[in-house]
Amino acid sequence: MAVRAFAWGAQGHEVIASLAWQGLQPKARQEVARVLALEPGQTLESIATWADEHRSASTGVWHYVNFPRGTCRYEPQRDCPEGKCVVAAIERQRALWASNASDATRLKALKYLVHLVGDVHQPLHAGYQDDRGGNRFQLRAFMRASNLHALWDSGLLRHQALDNAALVAVLQALPFSNKRLDLDVVQMAQESCRLVALAGFYPTEGVSDAYFERFSPVMRQRLALAGARLAAMLNAASANAE
């Protein structure tokens, strides 16, 4: 069954795109801007939710990968049959962006790449199959019925009470080793899964202040890494084109 919730919500995806734009090297930025000019007025941030807005029965499975509970080891035949998962989708769109395909094809690939790199960093988009990435784990948050997937899509972000510019500033200040900019998509998905496997990730007594205090920094780190890795992918494509 497809996971229908939208990873990170609009704000999360827009913030990741903004971080990536600021991390682009001059050649990559010039190429991204040139291709975006096919649709006047579009920016990396404005296309960040395009893939959610244009979901279909065939592309819905591109937004996530499901692991059997108890393992975060990616096995393509089991977890991504026929390339129908976020790991394979990112690799396909990344290859198209770096190719000599038409500008229209590359623009579409860019739209998917910007979004799907964000998706794979949302822990529950690499969660467990048996509860559909937390969609079936019901809880109460913000005084209303919700589920764990929705909490991670937008609830933790809403709790920050920051607009995009302020959140970007917070994320830019986060330190992380360059070693964490490994662009292996399998590793990105397995990282997310390992977060889901942490003790306490599934709240057993509702969403407490302690849960926000513990996992909001995790959420911020995933957003920052997504932006940095997206920029690194786009920079690498331009460097390889030289």
Residue 41 confidence (pLDDT): 92
Q: How many domains does the chain have?
A: 1
> For position 198, what pLDDT does the model report?
96
The strand pairing partners of 128, in sequence order, are 67
pLDDT at 182: 86
User: First vs last Cα of the chain: how many Å apart?
Assistant: 42
Q: What is the pLDDT of residue 118?
A: 97
Other beta carbons within 10 angstroms of residue 140's beta carbon come to 12
Mean pLDDT of the chain: 91
Residue 85 is given by DSSP the state: S
Instruction: Measure the CA–CA gap between 28 and 235, rounded to whole angstroms.
Output: 5
Residue-number span of the structural domain to which 146 is assigned? 9-240
Instruction: Please write the tens of the pLDDT for every residue from 72-93.
Output: 999 999 999 999 999 999 999 9
119 falls within a domain: yes
Whole-number pLDDT of residue 142:
57
3: in domain: no
Separation between Cα atoms, residue 215 and residue 222, nearest integer Å:
11
- Stretches in the chain below the pLDDT threshold 70: 1-6, 140-145, 176-180, 242
pLDDT at 190: 97
Helix (H, G, I), strand (E, B) or coil at 109: helix
Residue 125 lies in a domain: yes
Does residue 133 belong to any structural domain of this protein? yes
Q: What is the pLDDT of residue 205?
A: 74
Determine the pLDDT at residue 2: 36
Distance CA 161, CA 163 (A): 7
Instruction: Note the pLDDT of residue 96.
Output: 98
Asked whether residue 1 is assigned to any structural domain, the reply reads no
Q: What is the pLDDT of residue 4?
A: 42
Radius of gyration of the chain (CA): 17
Whether residue 121 contacts residue 188, with contact meaning beta carbons closer than 8 Å, is answered with yes
The pLDDT value recorded for residue 154 is: 86
Q: What is the pLDDT of residue 177?
A: 56
CATH of the domain at 206: 1.10.575.10
